Chains A and B, each alone.
Chain A
Amino acid sequence: MSQFNEMFQGADVRPPYARLQDWVGQMPQELRSLKQAEAEALFRRIGITFAVYGEGGDPDRLIPFDMFPRVFSGSEWAKLERGIKQRARALNAFLVDVYGRGEIIRAGRIPARLVYQNEAYEKAVAGFVPPKGVYSHIVGVDIVRTGPDDFFVLEDNCRTPSGVSYMLESREIMMRMFPDLFRENRIEPVDTYSDKLRRTLSSVAPAKCKGDPTVVILTPGHFNSASYEHSLLADLMGVELVEGQDLFVDGEYAYMRTTEGPQRVDVIYRRIDDAYLDPLCFRPDSMLGIPGLMDVYRSGGVSICSAPGAGVADDKAVYTYVPDMVRFYLGEEPILQNVPTWQCGKPDDLGHVLDKLPELVVKEVHGSGGYGMLVGPKATKDEIERFRAKLIEDPGNYIAQPTLALSTVPTFVEEGVAPRHVDLRPYCLVGERIELVPGGLTRVALKEGSLVVNSSQGGGVKDTWVLAE
């Protein structure tokens, strides 16, 4: 399989990486080791670690950081940006539609079953249009590249995409360690993210809110693997970080307890699942939630971001239909392509998937984080046969995709510098406006040849540069 190397075309260096060629060439081995140790110390000091589920071991394991940046030219980014914003608009239009009249279903463009019988579809918010018609305020679009102009969307994350703290901290650390690089290259800043996020959240305050809206971040607490990110974003935005027990409902509004008494809350950026928001509406056994919150939300007393029910748009089976959403709601052709996807629930597709299993990537429809998936070309015969049995037992639970030749970016490894596979997650903000910070989270599969970039599966992160034109 030929793989696109983002830095080298044969012996030639692609223009966005031109200056990095000298940088890495002139870096002595000792300096490199020193800098790598410094980066690790910085990450350790700020406390950004990643708890790996289901692996035991050190829950405060450091996520590996690779110093070799990933670079996009201004024009490459311009196309990506248009494509991502288009997708974010279509996904939000879809959400407003399926909680309203369901025109796309009436038109026969997407099966009713996929939407209405989806576990993420919240009947409790049917008929409700959130402020500005936005359900998903932060859309994390996972993108892979296979050629100079070939970008594919792997999946959409419409609920609470995590990882933006890595984008911010990777940049911070790179600027601290290699200030010269930032003088020599014209790199677009990403530190405007928190201001833009704050503005986005404020712009969807409920109509009843007069004046400057009070925004809070609702976290499940410090046992959560993303709790560092929650507190970083709260600090950067200058808003309170709260847990469910800090909030309560009184009359038509939600309040937080403060040392100066109750303060009304207008916008809740929640980093907990729908099921835990309100025990009176969802799981009655939830200790994390705020009793009565959904009644206040439904009557326009508080905004919740992402809006409850947004998850129905990022289901892996619904993903297949996102290009149709772009055409249906926007009347445009999709700028970013989907990866061709077989729905194992369809008998024809299942037959094909079972035939080609050793060549395909198979994922659970509701899975995330790289768990419960099969990477055919990397799997043993045994693993493939075990997966075949699972597929036959519950085909509707799986989708399959061809194994893509993910692009590579030079990465510091034991032996020096070597190409490693990467993906990209930019964070698109949707409120009164749609905004995208030039950059994102680049994840890198550090094992040679590996295509699994999930941080929970041993992937690392890189700083992502967009060069000013």
Chain B
Amino acid sequence: MRLTVDHVTRYSYDHPVRSVVQSHRLAPANHAGQKVIEWEVTVSGGTKGSRHRDGAGDLIQAWTVAGPVTEVVVQVRGTVETEDLAGVLRGHRETVAPDCYLRDTLPTRLDVALIALADSATAADTLSLAHALSAVVSDAIAYRPGVTHAHTTAAEALALGEGVCQDHAHALIACARHRGIAARYVSGYLSANEDGSAHEAAHAWAELYIPGLGWVGFDPANRCCPDARYIRLGSGFDAQDAAPIRGIARGGGHEDMDVTVAILQAAQ
């Protein structure tokens, strides 16, 4: 499937800021399930900084913007050819040992309810267990935007019983790690179905490490594994660690952020 992405993030400041530094995980890396046809990221008034591929195989690009500015616009435009590999991440070059992702972080820390949820899944092998865990998380947390926020933890979302893709991913990661499966957060894009049923074009899901298969994606928010509608940008321990844009503005006031994302399936 050929997907085109148009993703604009607009930061506005109520006072001019002296400088802005950003670290982007905004360029998809090629792997068996996705091939980048064209891709361009621009930052208004920005200078491209260093670029490297990190140990997890993500392309990291730094940007700096010299102030004073009151607005910074990050624009992503590109086209990716995708293929449905049933969630399996194949041909992705990385060096980080999967065991690293057994460590918890604040948003994925366990509590009694998460442990009970994780223990409620039963299966004969690791792959089936991963599917079962994803299913119990989907059942326990209903999709509902606006009730959780960027710093909501997996435990809090489970207590609410509602949340968005970030909460589903955190909860699945916490449950998987509790069952001894290395798990990580993935950020990317999702193209909506023709009936518009899929949620959140700027999307997030989890990858679990299955011996013999490697990393396999699970999207509890949509009760499926990533397929040709998904574009993978990068991964991390949690949402913050895997964020497509991490940035800091020096010497300014309040920051507002506005995001628009459109993912289109190109006509064949």
For residue B149, CB closer than 8 A to chain A, the reply is: no
Per-position 1/0 for A99-142, Cβ under 8 A of B:
11110010000001100110101011111100000000000000
Identify which of B21, B60, B94, B95 contacts A298 (C-beta below 8 A).
Answer: B60
Interface residues of A, dominant DSSP: loop
Identify which of A105, A119, A250, A298 contacts B54 (C-beta below 8 A).
Answer: A298
Q: Could you tell me the distance between the alpha carbons of A101 and B48 in the complex, rounded to whole angstroms?
A: 31
Nearest-neighbour CB distance to chain A for B130, whole angstroms, equals 20
For residue B19, CB closer than 8 A to chain A, the reply is: yes
For residue A252, CB closer than 8 A to chain B, the reply is: yes
For residue A251, CB closer than 8 A to chain B, the reply is: yes
The answer to whether B55 and A291 have CB atoms under 8 Å apart is no
Identify which of B21, B23, B95, B250 contacts A127 (C-beta below 8 A).
Answer: B95
Contacts A123-B55, A123-B96, A126-B96 given; indicate if A295 touches B23 (C-beta within 8 A). yes
- Number of A residues with CB within 8 Å of any CB on chain B: 34
For residue A296, CB closer than 8 A to chain B, the reply is: yes
**Beta-carbon contacts under 8 Å, B197-236 to A:** none
Identify which of B52, B95, B102, B248 contacts A100 (C-beta below 8 A).
Answer: B95
The answer to whether A296 and B19 have CB atoms under 8 Å apart is no
Across-interface contacts of A376 in B (CB, < 8 A)? none
Across-interface contacts of B56 in A (CB, < 8 A)? 123, 126
The answer to whether B97 and A128 have CB atoms under 8 Å apart is no
The answer to whether B50 and A296 have CB atoms under 8 Å apart is yes
**Beta-carbon contacts under 8 Å, B1-56 to A:** 19, 21-23, 47-52, 54-56
Q: Between A and B, how many residue pairs show CB distances below 8 Å?
A: 97
Contacts A117-B99, A249-B62, A295-B52 given; indicate if A123 touches B248 (C-beta within 8 A). no
Q: Could you tell me the distance between the alpha carbons of A281 and B97 in the complex, rounded to whole angstroms?
A: 19
Identify which of A112, A127, A251, A279 contacts B96 (C-beta below 8 A).
Answer: A127
Contacts A123-B55, A250-B64, A280-B247 given; indicate if A298 touches B99 (C-beta within 8 A). no
Identify which of A112, A296, A299, A301 contacts B99 (C-beta below 8 A).
Answer: A112
The answer to whether A284 and B50 have CB atoms under 8 Å apart is no
Contacts A102-B97, A116-B97, A280-B248 given; indicate if A299 touches B52 (C-beta within 8 A). yes
- Number of B residues with CB within 8 Å of any CB on chain A: 30
Q: Could you tell me the distance between the alpha carbons of A19 and B51 in the complex, rounded to whole angstroms?
A: 62
For residue B237, CB closer than 8 A to chain A, the reply is: yes
Across-interface contacts of A252 in B (CB, < 8 A)? 49-50
For residue A292, CB closer than 8 A to chain B, the reply is: yes
Q: Could you tell me the distance between the alpha carbons of A99 and B50 in the complex, rounded to whole angstroms?
A: 21
Nearest-neighbour CB distance to chain B for A274, whole angstroms, equals 14
Contacts A279-B248, A281-B23 given; indicate if A249 touches B64 (C-beta within 8 A). yes
For residue B100, CB closer than 8 A to chain A, the reply is: yes
Q: Could you tell me the distance between the alpha carbons of A113 and B177 in the complex, rounded to whole angstroms?
A: 13
Across-interface contacts of A284 in B (CB, < 8 A)? 240, 246
Across-interface contacts of A99 in B (CB, < 8 A)? 55
The answer to whether B54 and A127 have CB atoms under 8 Å apart is yes
The answer to whether A128 and B240 have CB atoms under 8 Å apart is no
Q: Could you tell me the distance between the alpha carbons of A296 and B62 in the complex, rounded to whole angstroms?
A: 8
For residue A248, CB closer than 8 A to chain B, the reply is: yes
Q: Interface of A with B (CB < 8 Å)?
A: 99-102, 105, 112-113, 116-117, 119, 121, 123-128, 248-252, 279-281, 284, 291-292, 294-296, 298-299, 301
Q: Interface of B with A (CB < 8 Å)?
A: 19, 21-23, 47-52, 54-56, 60, 62, 64, 94-97, 99-100, 102-103, 237, 240, 246-248, 250
The contact sample of 18 A-B pairs, CB cut-off 8 A, is A102-B97, A112-B97, A112-B99, A117-B100, A123-B56, A125-B55, A126-B54, A126-B96, A126-B97, A127-B55, A127-B94, A248-B19, A250-B47, A251-B49, A281-B23, A292-B49, A295-B50, A296-B50
